[in-house]
Structure 1
Amino acid sequence: YDSPLSEAAVLGFDYGYSLAEPNMLIVWEAQFGDFANGAQVIIDQFLSSAESKWGRLSGLVMMLPHGQEGQGPEHSSARLERFLQLCGDNNMQVANCSTAAQHFHILRRQLHRKVRKPLILMTPKGHLRSKAASSDFDEFVKGRFHEVLGDPTVPGAKAKRVVVTVGKVHHELAERRIEEGRDDIALVRVEQLYPLHEQLLAETLAPYAKAELVFCQDEPQNMGAWSFLAPHLERITGKKLLYAGREAAASPAPGSPMLFALEQEALISTALGVTAKKITKAKH
């Protein structure tokens, strides 16, 4: 039966299910995060504001594939910036986890905690195949969720630059840092964007007080976490924050594989302060 496809209908059903069964882990997962566009009215009118308007609590999880992986404008963005604009009064949680263990523990926390709040998870498809995003067994059975992940490989006294990141771009930066032989660049990951754990973030960045501070994202500058995080980072550190990422754009991602590769190389090299590689043939 060729049934109509309606993201709004399915998300509305799952939202209602989460109200009726608060002790169940109920997940609405999109094939691509962009598809949440069709359910925006449910997100705006119910998921983000029902607690404030009617005192209705929901523990619904939205898992939205998100991240620049060369799949084009319609398959790269879950519109992270829209969810961050909806955040206020501790109404929901927004996270972009960089490892398998982090994903596991934030879902486990969602069900075990006593309070019910919606959880919006950015889930890069590349993590399904990424060795860098995998986790050891002990990290699952003995670990916990960390709102911020520091960089134990680079001590504060040695760091000339600290790059704050969100999501999958961290792994690309880490790989390139090894290639360049740079042991003076620290990489700090903000795993939970809202509520932002400002104290933990400040403690993580404190050892790098003398280092240059950079924020790197692979989304365009008018999208992603930049507009949300930049004021917090500058206030916490008292420093001017440098930006490494795509320029502001009308589309979440370029349609050309070559342009995607050029932009990705530019933001990675800018974030690390290294010479950009020459792109001759784009990978798609």
Structure 2
Amino acid sequence: MNWADAELLAYGSLLLDNKNVRISGQDVIRGTFSHRHAKLFDANTNQPYSPLNNLSEQQANFNIYNSLLSEFGVLGFEYGYSMASPNTLVVWEAQFGDFSNGAQVIIDQFISSAETKWEKMNGLLVLLPHGYEGQGPEHSSARPQRLLSLCSEDNMVVANLTTPANLFHLIRRQLAWEFRKPCFLLSPKSLLRHPSVISNFDDFTNSQFQEIIDDNVKSKKLIKKLILCTGKFYYDLDEYRQGNNIKDVAIVRIEQLSPFPKSKIEKILNTYSNAKKIIWAQEENQNMGYWSYISSFNLKNIELISRKRSSSPSTGFLKVHLKEQDELIKKIFN
């Protein structure tokens, strides 16, 4: 099952558990990248049909709205809705993660700090499409460094996932917990249709959310270099590794960044006893992305390889992006 299947399956399972689901954002019904199709429209009458509202006569309500172009106003409203209805899964999706800039006040003033300031929990789920794919500086980065700078005292979840099953479990976890935590998911773009981004049925029914995904190398004793990364960049790195038949490098995926699973990471690192080099690899610039946050946890002998420092999240030229990406990946492996 792919990413869109997992997302809709998570919503459907919650509806059958009698939990309401509410989603808003710009072009969320279809999905910005034409992947969700939460409503189908009759070609002759243009009448909408919502499969998720026709699962069972006893199900809860599924509501999805294409919102106006005001990130500040809409995110503020959905935050309040989630506060008033804690047993409803409330989702706000930015058209691109970059656009959450316009709602930063809501994130700083309320979402990240309300539990500390006012002892008010909130289970809002925020989807921020993120990934460096040559679409320019306004369509590449959800600025994860901003989110992670606000993370402390287990105040909120920040995740960058690589499997549909993990998406399914993360969405359901928002309401399965006996408490509520806001969650920011750096959601994918190119991975929506990536042939490797699929999960088996057993991953949904006989598994649970994985904060870290270890590599499935045949022998850890042969590994000389260990790469830690998160999100879509994993598939870029793995494609290069397979294409060049590299056998002495392992790639570990950090799926949940906050709360940071430090003890689990250290436990996995200790299993690679012959690894002489440990790298945090990110496609974001050195002064952006995750490094400032990751380095604050003092993991031993870890170094950064990334794009160079920049005032802009990315280049505006596709050719330059492809050249940078190629050079970055080669630097990580060589």
Q: TM-score with structure 1 length normalisation?
A: 0.91
Query: How big is the shift at 1:210?
Result: 3.0
| Equivalent of residue 317 in structure 2, options 243, 256, 260 | 256
Query: How big is the shift at 1:126?
Result: 1.0
Residue correspondences, number? 267
Output one character per residue of 1:128-178: Cα deviation in whole Å (capped at 9) or x when no partner: 111222211211121111101111225321101000001101011111101
Output one character per residue of 1:159-210: Cα deviation in whole Å (capped at 9) or x when no partner: 0100000110101111110111111100001110010111111111112233
| Equivalent of residue 283 in structure 2, options 218, 229, 232 | 218
Partner of 2:71: 7
1:216–1:271 CA contact under 8 A, matched in 2: yes
- Residue 73 and residue 57 in structure 1: after superposition, are their counterparts in 2 closer, same or farther (change >3 A)? same
1:154–1:185 CA contact under 8 A, matched in 2: no
1:215–1:271 CA contact under 8 A, matched in 2: no
Partner of 1:229: 294
> Whole-Å Cα distance in 2 between the matches of residues 4 and 22 of structure 1?
24
Answering whether residue 332 of structure 2 is matched by residue 271 of structure 1, we say yes
SS in 1 for 2:220: coil
SS in 2 for 1:244: strand
Query: How big is the shift at 1:243?
Result: 2.0
What amino acid is the match of 2:288? M
Extract unaligned runs of 5+ from structure 2: 1-66
| Equivalent of residue 102 in structure 1, options 166, 182, 205 | 166
Output one character per residue of 1:56-81: Cα deviation in whole Å (capped at 9) or x when no partner: 11000100000101111000010100
> Which region of structure 1 is more displaced relative to structure 2, 132-141 or 7-16?
132-141
Partner of 1:123: 187
- Residue 187 and residue 13 in structure 1: after superposition, are their counterparts in 2 closer, same or farther (change >3 A)? same
2:229–2:254 CA contact under 8 A, matched in 1: yes
Answering whether residue 128 of structure 2 is matched by residue 64 of structure 1, we say yes
What amino acid is the match of 2:115? E
> Whole-Å Cα distance in 2 between the matches of residues 228 and 150 of structure 1?
21
Partner of 2:206: 142
What amino acid is the match of 1:271? I
Partner of 2:268: 204
| Equivalent of residue 153 in structure 1, options 206, 214, 217 | 217
> Whole-Å Cα distance in 1 between the matches of residues 330 and 172 of structure 2?
36
What amino acid is the match of 1:51? E
1:102–1:146 CA contact under 8 A, matched in 2: yes
> Whole-Å Cα distance in 2 between the matches of residues 228 and 184 of structure 1?
28
Partner of 2:253: 189
> Whole-Å Cα distance in 1 between the matches of residues 311 and 218 of structure 2?
37
> Whole-Å Cα distance in 1 between the matches of residues 108 and 248 of structure 2?
43
> Which region of structure 1 is more displaced relative to structure 2, 8-17 or 136-145?
136-145
1:92–1:118 CA contact under 8 A, matched in 2: yes
Which protein is bigger by CA-based radius of gyration?
2
Query: How big is the shift at 1:97?
Result: 0.4
> Whole-Å Cα distance in 2 between the matches of residues 74 and 68 of structure 1?
11
Extract unaligned runs of 5+ from structure 1: 274-284
> Whole-Å Cα distance in 1 between the matches of residues 218 and 287 of structure 2?
31
Query: How big is the shift at 1:4?
Result: 5.9
Q: TM-score with structure 2 length normalisation?
A: 0.78
2:222–2:274 CA contact under 8 A, matched in 1: no
Output one character per residue of 1:105-130: Cα deviation in whole Å (capped at 9) or x when no partner: 11111110111010010002111111
